[in-house]
A = this chain, B = another copy of it.
Amino acid sequence: MKLVVIGGDAAGMSAASQARKRRGPDDLEIVAFERGHFTSYSACGIPYWIGGAVTGRDALVARTPAEFAEAGIAVRLRHEVVAIDLDRREVTARDLDGGGERREGFDELVYAAGAVPVTPDWARVDAGGVFGVQTLDDGEAIHAWLDGEPRPRRAVVIGGGYVGVEMAEAMVRRGVEVTLLERSPQPMSTVDPDMGERVHRAIRGLGIEVRTNTLVQGLETAGGRVTAVVTPDGTLPADIVVLGLGVRPNTALATESGIPVGVTGGLRTDLQMRVVGPAGRIDGLWAAGDCVQTVHRISGQPVHVPLGTHANKQGRVAGINLGGGYATFPGVIGTAVTKVCELEVARTGLTAKEATASGFEFVTASVESTSRAGYYPGAGTMVVKLVAERRTGVLLGAQIVGREEAAKRIDSLAIAVWNRMTVEEMTALDLGYAPPFAPVWDPVLIAARKATDEVHASR
């Protein structure tokens, strides 16, 4: 029996490892194709590597091809799978360095090709200095460009989401002047405007120029290098342009091979991460990671949430099932955290905007409190916002913006959302209390109290 894995990052290699754990090399041969130079790396760590907080690319690699080889998993680096033949059960892989092609038969196939940066037509210029932030190879290229001659002095980051903001901060730390362009009225639109406003201020506080409501019209180049970004409000000189416009599932190969995708553009799977087409499961075909569509457990809607933590979980689930075990991936609730300078930003479940779009009637409650007892040194302020269903009081979502020790409190709220707790029941939660860790009423509890009042008032 042979397992072929397309994509050598978190999802694919988690699947390979879990399958190997349960089935030895005599029982199952495993071959993974990866078009880049690296396996199992943390793409989320790239901004910190660029910014200098993380030293050295290798720190971001969790497991090398040599380590996989030792575990009996063959990895073919710089090999891009260019065709899947489901009937003949073989893939065709192109050697990106050597130039040849090879065919590889399979009994089981894991499709874990990840995502690709959204790249509008205007960004497809034949010039250096324009980068996505998706792979470790991208990170290497950005590093080389920033260290190269002529030394870039001015950067424009296009898109104010997580990656855009993290990259903007990273380049400021490298001494580059940064302008951040965002098409909506505010960066970090993954949180509600009242919360995003605080993040907006923090970004400006880093010395980053933020231009909102700004649509990019084009790039200018000269001598094979990007030189400027064109917007309706003027042309911004730029020695480096970073695209932070999000990513889309890398499913071109799948659709070319007759494997259908869902409404979000990602592959559809069942709970065990088997690929599902219009006629049901596709035999022997699995998918995991940034190329798949999943379900939002609160809105019930299909969503595409490219995030390392989901990729790892989905890969693990596919691998356990491939190996003869049983595991399921039941969907996501939209938890995300990030850091902008000293400001921590976190969300879970649905924002007010998303709750409206999902058809919920709801109330919101925001409170300001501190991470530790007010009198204990180092107590930082934070704002906690809850979204709860009107009348039932079921917690639909939460957002936190605050200083140190704020963001990870989102986990408590995520587990409350996951379990469909009411904000009223949450007021009784037995959370950890001691002056170095929380006020006697934890910010989460204060928020639950206020939301309970709002729910009662809404009845």
Among listed A141-149, A196-204, A350-358, A405-413, interface-contacting one? A405-413
- The one of B335, B428, B431 in contact with A432, judged by C-beta atoms closer than 8 angstroms, is B335
B376 touches A435 (CB 8 A): no
- The one of B374, B428, B429, B434 in contact with A338, judged by C-beta atoms closer than 8 angstroms, is B434
| CB of A115 to closest CB in B, whole Å | 16
Q: Please give, as numbers and ranges, the residues of chain B lying within 8 Å of A54 by CB-CB distance.
A: 375-377, 435
Shortest Cβ distance from A45 into B: residue: B435
B376 touches A48 (CB 8 A): yes
Q: Can you pick out 8 interface pairs between chain A and chain B where the beta carbons lie within 8 Å of each other?
A: A328-B428, A330-B425, A333-B430, A335-B431, A337-B437, A348-B430, A408-B438, A415-B415
B431 touches A53 (CB 8 A): no
Whether A236 sits at the interface, judged by CB under 8 Å, is no
B408 touches A430 (CB 8 A): no
| CB of A89 to closest CB in B, whole Å | 31
B44 touches A434 (CB 8 A): yes
A432 touches B408 (CB 8 A): yes
Interface residues of A in 296-353 (CB under 8 A from B): 307-310, 312-313, 327-330, 332-339, 344, 346, 348
A432 touches B405 (CB 8 A): no
Whether A172 sits at the interface, judged by CB under 8 Å, is no
Whether A219 sits at the interface, judged by CB under 8 Å, is no
Q: Please give, as numbers and ranges, the residues of chain B lying within 8 Å of A329 by CB-CB distance.
A: 428
> 13 other contacts beyond A336-B433, A412-B412, A412-B414, with CB at 8 A cut-off?
A45-B376, A48-B435, A54-B375, A59-B374, A312-B441, A334-B430, A335-B431, A407-B437, A408-B408, A408-B438, A412-B415, A415-B419, A418-B430
Q: Please give, as numbers and ranges, the residues of chain B lying within 8 Å of A440 by CB-CB distance.
A: 10, 42, 44, 308-309, 312
- The one of B44, B312, B375, B411 in contact with A42, judged by C-beta atoms closer than 8 angstroms, is B375
Whether A367 sits at the interface, judged by CB under 8 Å, is no
B313 touches A428 (CB 8 A): yes
Q: How far is the CA of A377 from the CA of B51 in the complex (A)?
A: 12
Q: How far is the CA of A375 from the CA of B339 in the complex (A)?
A: 16
| Chain A 373-394: CB-based contact to B (< 8 A → 1; otherwise 0) | 1111100000000000000000
Whether A24 sits at the interface, judged by CB under 8 Å, is no
| CB of A379 to closest CB in B, whole Å | 11
Known A10-B440, A411-B444: A430·B376 in contact at CB below 8 Å: no
Shortest Cβ distance from A162 into B: residue: B434
Shortest Cβ distance from A44 into B: residue: B435
Residues of A within 8 A of B (CB): 10, 42, 44-45, 48, 53-54, 59-60, 162, 307-310, 312-313, 327-330, 332-339, 344, 346, 348, 373-377, 405, 407-412, 414-416, 418-419, 421, 425, 427-438, 440-442, 444
Q: How far is the CA of A312 from the CA of B416 in the complex (A)?
A: 21
Q: Please give, as numbers and ranges, the residues of chain B lying within 8 Å of A348 by CB-CB distance.
A: 430, 432
| CB of A440 to closest CB in B, whole Å | 5
A433 touches B376 (CB 8 A): no
A434 touches B60 (CB 8 A): no
- The one of B339, B376, B430 in contact with A436, judged by C-beta atoms closer than 8 angstroms, is B339
Q: How far is the CA of A215 from the CA of B330 in the complex (A)?
A: 53
Q: How far is the CA of A407 from the CA of B438 in the complex (A)?
A: 11
Q: How far is the CA of A312 from the CA of B332 in the complex (A)?
A: 35
Q: How far is the CA of A374 from the CA of B62 in the complex (A)?
A: 10
Q: Please give, as numbers and ranges, the residues of chain B lying within 8 Å of A330 by CB-CB distance.
A: 425, 428
Shortest Cβ distance from A420 into B: residue: B419
B45 touches A375 (CB 8 A): yes
B45 touches A430 (CB 8 A): no
Q: How far is the CA of A48 from the CA of B416 in the complex (A)?
A: 32
Known A339-B436, A419-B415, A437-B337: A431·B373 in contact at CB below 8 Å: no
B376 touches A427 (CB 8 A): no
Shortest Cβ distance from A339 into B: residue: B436
Q: How far is the CA of A53 from the CA of B372 in the complex (A)?
A: 13
Q: How far is the CA of A430 from the CA of B303 in the complex (A)?
A: 14
Q: How far is the CA of A329 from the CA of B432 in the complex (A)?
A: 17
A375 touches B59 (CB 8 A): yes
Q: How far is the CA of A335 from the CA of B434 in the complex (A)?
A: 11
Known A45-B373, A377-B53: A418·B409 in contact at CB below 8 Å: no
Q: Please give, as numbers and ranges, the residues of chain B lying within 8 Å of A60 by CB-CB distance.
A: 375
